[in-house]
């Protein structure tokens, strides 16, 4: 089994995604699962941004001294801008569902909620 | 315990698989194909200095329209899920004197800075979404510091809808003038501000659209905060 050589940014992004996935799989509290979802999202955004990086170049704002050949790729940044907003929107929706769950069942434990319904 | 161990083993396998896939993507090398075109033509095609906002608003304007729609649906959904006949704030205790005084002093500055961010979207980092989030933060501060504070709902909800309609209207004017939706009519037909690249009055319709988006996002997130900080009154 050869270990693949990847950049520390890719490694961090993968680690964040896996930590978030672990929280979603293992945790029983709904709020902790939502925290896991947010961490996963951060990992995906970090991965997108680090794919667009070109070493030694600056942000794609073409002011004096920074020409088109001295800027990083603007497309992943635009993608991440969209992804962050969508993440915030889904998190807000999920949190209000969590509020309703607590009001209806008096608990945020997914296993207990499943048992109460049946 | 066995569940956790199984989860960790599965995740390690997934992580190894992802790392193997990413090993073929070199880090820090120039991989631009379309990005180079955007960087080279952004100034004369859109008038913006900030390539990211030019991509977001101009080249890929449909993404932003969808993004604004998603945020609008989220705000409507939160309102629908947390809908009660009678509502009141959950807060019971007023903030300390330092907190309330500090908030009332800081509030205008935070709103001003948010407006600065979305007005200068074509020149500096930022744009409509960060600016709107900053303005919503100012309203969150008010909610946190004062027990009785409440946003003016009538004004906020109307403003939100009008800003969204304004964005679509700017796109429809482009359809009428230039032949496709979200055509930058101010820049490409009027040529307004072409001698002025890099200053405030340039950038085609990017400042206008970002002002509308900033107002919309600010009012929307404030509405979400308002909905989440209230609970129904049980009789």
Q: Which tens digit of pLDDT belongs to each residue from B173-182?
A: 888 887 677 7
Task: State mean pLDDT over B41-50.
Answer: 83
What gap in Å lies between CA B210 and CA B188, rounded to an integer? 18
Q: How confident is the model at residue B133 (pLDDT cuts 50, 70, 90)?
A: very high
Measured distance CA(A89)–CA(A70) in Å, rounded = 34
Our CA-based measurement puts residue A64 at a distance from the nearest CA of chain B, in whole angstroms, of: 9
| Confidence label for B115 from pLDDT (cuts 50, 70 and 90) | very high
pLDDT higher than 70, residue B126: yes
Contact list in B for residue A47 (CB cut-off 8 A) is: 22
Find the CB nearest B74 among A51, A81, A93.
A93
> Which residues of chain B are within 8 Å of residue A93 when distances are taken between CB atoms?
74, 77-78, 81
**More reliable by pLDDT, A32 or B48:** A32
Q: Which residue of B has its CA nearest to A26?
A: B4
Res. A1 pLDDT band, cuts 50 70 90 = low
Q: Is the dihedral of CA B66, B77, B134, B158 positive or negative?
A: positive
Question: In Å, how far is B31's CA from the nearest CA of chain A?
Answer: 8
pTM of the model: 0.87
8 Å CB contact of A96 and B77: yes
Count of other CB atoms within 10 angstroms of residue A111: 9
SS3 A66: coil
In Å, what is the CA distance from B9 to each residue of A22, B4, B6, B109, B140? 10, 9, 5, 50, 42
Lowest average pLDDT, out of A82-96, B108-122, B125-139, B190-204, goes to B190-204
For the cut 80, the answer to whether the pLDDT of residue B200 exceeds it is: no
pLDDT digits (tens, 9 = 90+) for B19-37: 888 888 888 788 888 888 8
d(CA B32, CA B55): 14
* Size (chain B), residues: 235
B25 in Cβ contact with A4 (< 8 Å) = no
Flag whether pLDDT at B3 surpasses 70: yes
Closest CA to B225 of B132, B163, B161: B132
User: If 0-12 CB within 10 Å is exposed, 13-18 middle and 19+ buried, where does residue B144 land?
Assistant: middle
Please state, in angstroms and rounded to a whole number, the distance separating the CA atoms of residues B81 and A100: 8
- Which helix H or strand E contains B230, and what residues bound it? strand B230-232
**Residue pair B70/A89 in contact by the 8 Å Cβ criterion:** yes
Burial class (CB in 10 A: 0-12, 13-18, 19+), B151: middle
All residues at 6 or more sequence positions from A1 whose CB lies less than 8 Å from its CB, including other chains: none
From CA B87, how far away is CA B77, in angstroms rounded? 17
Percent of chain A with pLDDT over 90: 53
Shortest distance, CA B25 to any CA of chain A (angstroms): 8
The shortest CB-CB distance from A68 to any of B3, B27, B40 is to: B40
Count Cβ–Cβ pairs < 8 Å, chain A vs chain B.
147
* Residue A118: band (very low, low, confident or very high) from pLDDT cuts 50, 70, 90: low
């Amino acid at each position: 089994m050869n270990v693949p050589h990847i950049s520390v940014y890719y490694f961090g992004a993968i680690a964040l995604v896996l930590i978030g996935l672990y929280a979603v799989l293992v945790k029983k509290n709904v709020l902790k699962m939502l925290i896991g979802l947010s961490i996963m999202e951060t990992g995906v955004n970090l991965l997108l941004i680090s794919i667009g990086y070109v070493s030694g170049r600056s942000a794609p704002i073409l002011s004096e001294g920074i020409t088109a050949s001295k800027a990083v790729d603007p497309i992943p940044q635009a993608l991440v801008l969209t992804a962050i907003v969508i993440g915030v929107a889904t998190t807000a929706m999920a949190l209000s569902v969590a509020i309703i769950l607590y009001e209806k069942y008096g608990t945020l434990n997914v296993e207990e909620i499943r048992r109460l319904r049946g | 315990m066995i569940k956790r161990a199984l989860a960790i083993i599965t995740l390690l396998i997934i992580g190894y698989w992802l790392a193997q896939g990413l090993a073929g993507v070199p880090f820090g090398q120039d991989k631009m194909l379309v990005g180079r075109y955007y960087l080279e033509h952004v100034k004369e095609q859109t008038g913006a200095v900030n390539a990211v906002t030019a991509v977001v608003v101009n080249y890929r304007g449909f993404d932003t329209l969808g993004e604004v729609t998603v945020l609008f649906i989220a705000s409507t959904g939160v309102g629908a899920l947390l809908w009660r006949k009678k509502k009141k704030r959950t807060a019971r205790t007023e903030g300390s004197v330092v907190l309330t005084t500090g908030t009332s002093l800081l509030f205008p500055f935070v709103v001003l800075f948010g407006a600065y961010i979305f007005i200068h979207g074509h020149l500096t980092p930022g744009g409509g979404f960060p600016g709107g989030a900053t303005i919503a933060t100012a309203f969150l501060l008010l909610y946190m510091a004062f027990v009785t504070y409440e946003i003016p709902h009538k004004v906020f909800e109307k403003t939100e809808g009008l800003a969204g309609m304004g964005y679509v209207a700017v796109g429809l004017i482009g359809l009428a003038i230039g032949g496709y939706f979200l055509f930058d009519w101010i820049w490409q037909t009027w040529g307004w501000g072409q001698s002025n690249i890099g200053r405030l009055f340039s950038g085609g319709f990017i400042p206008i659209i970002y002002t509308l988006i900033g107002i919309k996002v600010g009012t929307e997130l404030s509405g979400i905060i308002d909905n989440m900080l209230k609970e129904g009154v049980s009789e």
